[in-house]
Structure 1
Amino acid sequence: MKYRILGKTNLKVSVVGIGTWQFGGEWGKDFNQTEVDAILGRGKELGINLIDTAECYGDHLAEKFIGQATKKDRQDWIIASKFGHHFHGYQNRTNHWGAQEVLKQLEDSLRALQTDYIDLYQFHSGSNESFDQDDLWTMLDKQVQAGKIRHLGISIGKNDNIHQTDAASKFNSEVIQVVYNRLDRAPEREVLPSCEKQNLGVLARVPLASGILSGKYKPGTVFGANDQRSRVERQDILAKQLKEAEEIKLNEVPEGVDMAQWALAWCLKNPVVTSVIPGCKNVAQVESNAKAADLV
């Protein structure tokens, strides 16, 4: 494994982390504690120390799995979580951006994670109106001072959201999380240059384009009804991406190189990117993801 410093946080994070939306049960599979323990345990053996989660991956469900799995070696992990939403069911969330609402979310996340601090607490894909609240960020700063949060970050919803990115330092936010992969390079135009200018850490989410860059899916693939990729409004985009991924595999991925590992390394070859946070459904996928570090 290789490591990079996460912007101005001075946190030393593995260049490959573990994304955990799948633990909330919205990606075609329900998890149990034994499976999560195995995934995170193997990740640690491979040198992974970064976990990204959110309160709305299930109703704190992913956080509960993670808390149980990491409580014995909490100090060895850098845990990033998020705030702003409440999970009610599959693809059903409500938004909650008030300072007191977020404070409650923080307390609930700490309880679920079985910890007294969160390493990175991120504003989660909210509107600019929700973002531009001084009282929200004042409350969060107080939680940093109290030691419940080590660092603040912003997970921008649209990967060209320069308003929130440019305002990061103003609100003492030190990390930007953004969708970035070989199929979606929009952040290169404005967001990544702004991150570099401010010395912000960058977490690249969806680095495998929701599995499209894994090389496993052919054009025409149909996903189950309990899988985020089955959403009707995504089907045209999905069909286009599957076709483009097939061309990338043919023309860009070196012979004998695993496409998923190549795709993760592609993100990491951009020096502004600190770490990629792909999801994984089993131990074999963790092992495969970790090998991407060898290609960087």
Structure 2
Amino acid sequence: MKYRKLGKTNFDVSEISLGTWQVGGGWGQDFDERKAERIIQAALDAGVNFIDTADVYDAGLSEAAVGKAIKHHPENVFVATKCGRQIQPHVNEGYTPTVLRSYVEASLKNMQLDTIDLIQLHCPPTPVYDRPEIFELFDRLKEEGKVRHLGVSVEKVAEAEKALAYPNVATVQIIFNMFRLKPSERFFALAKEKDCGIIVRVPLASGLLSGGMDASSRFHPADHRTFNREGQAFDKGETFSGVPYELGLRAVEELRQVFGTNTKLAAHALRWTLMFPEVSTVIPGASRPEQVVENIRASELPALSTDQMEAVERIYEKYLKADIHPLW
């Protein structure tokens, strides 16, 4: 495993880490505590030392599984969780220091931790970024020893830029993949200037960049890849990176031709994100332990060639840029 600095936190974190949106459940499946334990343990055994979760993942069961799994590695594993998505309706007015404090304290209890290494605002509505009192809360929580650092998870590059106006924002979690190039063009240089850690989520575009899907693929009715393609439940950019499924399949077919068939496209897609030195860590999810191992092996691939990097950009411009670039 290779490690990178997570911005001003000064944490050295595994460059491929673990996201736990669907660990042991999620995406339409019943939560399986034993499966969650095996997935997280596989990551820890492989050298992963950064795990990202959220209080809303499986209604807190994901957080609890993470807390249980790291009990024997408290000084060697960094835990990141998120707060704010429990607010319903999810609007600016629902965000208050009192409400957010209650969520942080509930997460501490749920994970049986004294301190959260990284607490992140969970894709708050854009107006929240103009409210200093929300960000000041986390300075107080840090003074109380309840959190070590603050980050934000964002939907849009513009939100990431606004977040860095606050000196206590140490990390930004953002969607970045072969179907979402704008962060590297607009945000990465600013993040480097501000010593902000970049956590890449949705690196495989909800599995579309795994190369294992086709026009006949079907998903569970409770899987967001079924019900959220047009943003019916939350920002549609979280589902297939906002790319229309059929169009994404066409782009994937051209990517296959660029990278060949000797290695799965997913591995190349993960290796692509690591080509950007501003990226601190990538947090693909996993629904079984074997996927964890496959994801981590991607960092062992040789660097992509200039021709391959340029081909990814050409395919993005050909199929996606006109629709994707302006939205996020």
Instruction: Identify the match of residue 247 of structure 1 among 243, 254, 261.
Output: 254
What is the CA–CA distance in structure 1 between the aligned matches of 2:115 and 2:139, rounded to whole Å? 14
What is the CA–CA distance in structure 2 between the aligned matches of 1:15 and 1:5, rounded to whole Å? 9
Instruction: Identify the match of residue 180 of structure 1 among 169, 172, 176.
Output: 176
What is the CA–CA distance in structure 2 between the aligned matches of 1:292 and 1:218, rounded to whole Å? 23
Deviations 1:179-222 (A, max 9, x none): 00011112122122221221211011000111111111113423
CA contact (8 A) 1:165 1:176 kept: no
Q: In the alignment, which residue of structure 1 is the partner of 2:211?
A: 215
Q: In the alignment, which residue of structure 1 is the partner of 2:316?
A: none
What is the CA–CA distance in structure 2 between the aligned matches of 1:199 and 1:222, rounded to whole Å? 42
Instruction: Identify the match of residue 157 of structure 1 among 142, 155, 158.
Output: 155
Q: In the alignment, which residue of structure 1 is the partner of 2:272?
A: 266
Deviations 1:130-181 (A, max 9, x none): 22222222221011122211111111122x22x4424425241011110000
Q: What TM-score results when the alignment is normalised by the length of structure 1?
A: 0.91
CA contact (8 A) 2:31 2:58 kept: no
TM superposition shift of 1:29: 2.1
What is the CA–CA distance in structure 2 between the aligned matches of 1:138 and 1:236, rounded to whole Å? 36
Instruction: Identify the match of residue 206 of structure 1 among 202, 205, 219.
Output: 202
Q: Which amino acid aligns with 2:247?
A: K
Q: Which amino acid aligns with 1:247?
A: E
How has the CA–CA distance of structure 1 residues 24 and 155 changed in structure 2, closer, same or farther, with 3 Å as cutoff?
A: farther
What is the CA–CA distance in structure 2 between the aligned matches of 1:82 and 1:169, rounded to whole Å? 20
Q: In the alignment, which residue of structure 2 is the partner of 1:229?
A: 225
How has the CA–CA distance of structure 1 residues 93 and 68 changed in structure 2, closer, same or farther, with 3 Å as cutoff?
A: farther
How has the CA–CA distance of structure 1 residues 224 and 285 changed in structure 2, closer, same or farther, with 3 Å as cutoff?
A: same
What is the CA–CA distance in structure 2 between the aligned matches of 1:199 and 1:94, rounded to whole Å? 30
Indicate the SS of the match to 1:221. coil
**Residue 293, structure 1, aligned to residue 299, structure 2:** yes
CA contact (8 A) 1:83 1:105 kept: yes
CA contact (8 A) 2:160 2:172 kept: no
Q: What TM-score results when the alignment is normalised by the length of structure 2?
A: 0.83
Indicate the SS of the match to 1:129. helix
For the aligned residue pairs, the C-alpha RMSD in angstroms reads 1.9
Q: Which amino acid aligns with 1:156?
A: V
Q: In the alignment, which residue of structure 2 is the partner of 1:52?
A: 52
How has the CA–CA distance of structure 1 residues 236 and 120 changed in structure 2, closer, same or farther, with 3 Å as cutoff?
A: closer
Indicate the SS of the match to 1:278. coil
Q: Which amino acid aligns with 1:10?
A: N
Q: In the alignment, which residue of structure 1 is the partner of 2:282?
A: 276
Q: In the alignment, which residue of structure 1 is the partner of 2:245?
A: 238
CA contact (8 A) 2:24 2:33 kept: no
What is the CA–CA distance in structure 2 between the aligned matches of 1:24 and 1:290, rounded to whole Å? 19
CA contact (8 A) 1:264 1:292 kept: yes
CA contact (8 A) 1:24 1:57 kept: no
Indicate the SS of the match to 2:279. coil
Deviations 1:4-26 (A, max 9, x none): 01011110000011111113843
Deviations 1:203-243 (A, max 9, x none): 11000111111111113423221111112516971221122
Indicate the SS of the match to 1:119. strand
Q: In the alignment, which residue of structure 1 is the partner of 2:321?
A: none
TM superposition shift of 1:126: 1.1
CA contact (8 A) 2:175 2:203 kept: yes
Q: In the alignment, which residue of structure 1 is the partner of 2:35?
A: 35
What is the CA–CA distance in structure 1 between the aligned matches of 2:89 and 2:253, rounded to whole Å? 34
Deviations 1:69-100 (A, max 9, x none): 2222222211111111218xxxx874542100
Q: In the alignment, which residue of structure 2 is the partner of 1:140?
A: 138
What is the CA–CA distance in structure 2 between the aligned matches of 1:220 and 1:272, rounded to whole Å? 37
Q: Which runs of 5+ in 2 are unaligned?
A: 231-235, 237-241, 304-328
How has the CA–CA distance of structure 1 residues 71 and 236 changed in structure 2, closer, same or farther, with 3 Å as cutoff?
A: closer
Q: In the alignment, which residue of structure 1 is the partner of 2:322?
A: none
